[in-house]
Amino acid sequence: MVPLRVENVDTDQIIPARFLKATDRKGFGENLFRDWRFTSDGQIKKDFALNQSQYKGAILVAGNNFGCGSSREHAAWALGDYGFRVVISSFFADIFKGNALNNGILPIQVSPENLQCIFAAIDQYPSVIAIVDIENQKLLIDAAGIALTFEINNYKKMCLINGYDDIDYLIIQKEAIEAFEQKRA
């Protein structure tokens, strides 16, 4: 797990606008949190969690209101491309949450108290392992005695587990959509 003890992390921090010029989805991980990871002349900022070798893994743990601001899905692509599969926070911005789920990244919302417990567990055991069980909606950190249940709507859970895509679902609904158009006309 990688701890990011900052609140209101906006998508401009996750991926700055100057890196949004690409026309495909690949390669954004390189510039994830660019201006927090590197100085303007490209030096590594050693005090930033992503640059600290004791923290590893596919789970980012972040402060309240993660992913606010711009709707750029590039933020989810950058997190995924870097290797994150789960983000834990006490609160997520709406658009980011949807974008993450549409890219196979699971946003797990926990209470502010539990978020502090998770940060404390990482402080105590920087390489602590967490297990995320989507099927049973459980977040388990055995070393710290943390066992939490998280919410996810059934439809999105089914999509994540089976790798389904909203577009495929909507295309199947085409007749209903055309009938809706007829009715309104």
Partner 1 sequence: MKKTLFEKVWDSHVVSSIKNGPDILYIDKHLIHEVTSPQAFKVLEEKNIPLFRPNQVVATADHNVPTENQHLPIQDALSRKQVSQLTKNCEAHGVNLFGLGHSFQGIVHVIGPELGVTQPGMTLVCGDSHTSTHGAFGTIAFGIGTSQVAQVFASQCVLVDKPKSMRIVIAGKLHPAVEPKDVVLYVIAKLGTDAGTGYFVEFAGNVFEEMSMEGRMTVCNMSIEMGARGGMIAPDQTTFDYVSGREFAPKGEALEAKIAHWKSLSTDDGAAFDAEHHFDAADIRPMITYGTNPGMGIKIADKIPSSDDASFVKSLEYMGLEADTYLLDMPISHVFIGSCTNSRIEDFRAAAAHIKGKQKSPDVAALIVPGSQQVAKQIVAEGLDEIFESAGFKLRQPGCSACLAMNDDKIPSGAYCVSTSNRNFEGRQGQGARTLLASPVTAAAAAVAGKIVDVSQA
Closest approach of Cβ 63 to partner 1, in Å?
7
Q: Which of 40, 53 has the CB closer to partner 1? A: 40
H/E run at residue 139: strand 138-141
Considering the complex, state which of residue 36 and residue 130 has its C-beta at the smaller distance from partner 1. Answer: 36
Binding site for partner 1 (CB under 8 A): 5-8, 10, 12-13, 16-18, 20-25, 35, 40, 63-65, 68-74, 76, 91-95, 98-99, 102-103, 153-156, 166-167, 169-171, 173-174, 176-177, 180-181, 184
How is the beta sheet containing 106-109 ordered, strand by strand? 2-4, 59-62, 86-89, 106-109
Q: How far is the CB of 131 from partner 1 (least distance, A)?
A: 25
Q: Closer CB to partner 1, residue 71 or residue 114?
A: 71
Select 22 or 131, whichever has its Cβ closest to partner 1. 22
Which residues, 6+ apart, have CB-to-CB distance to 54 below 8 Å? 126, 127
Closest approach of Cβ 142 to partner 1, in Å? 29
CB of 84 to partner 1, least distance (A): 17
Q: Which of 119, 123, 53, 133 is nearest to 88 (CA)?
A: 119
Burial of 86 (0-12, 13-18, 19+ CB in 10 A): buried
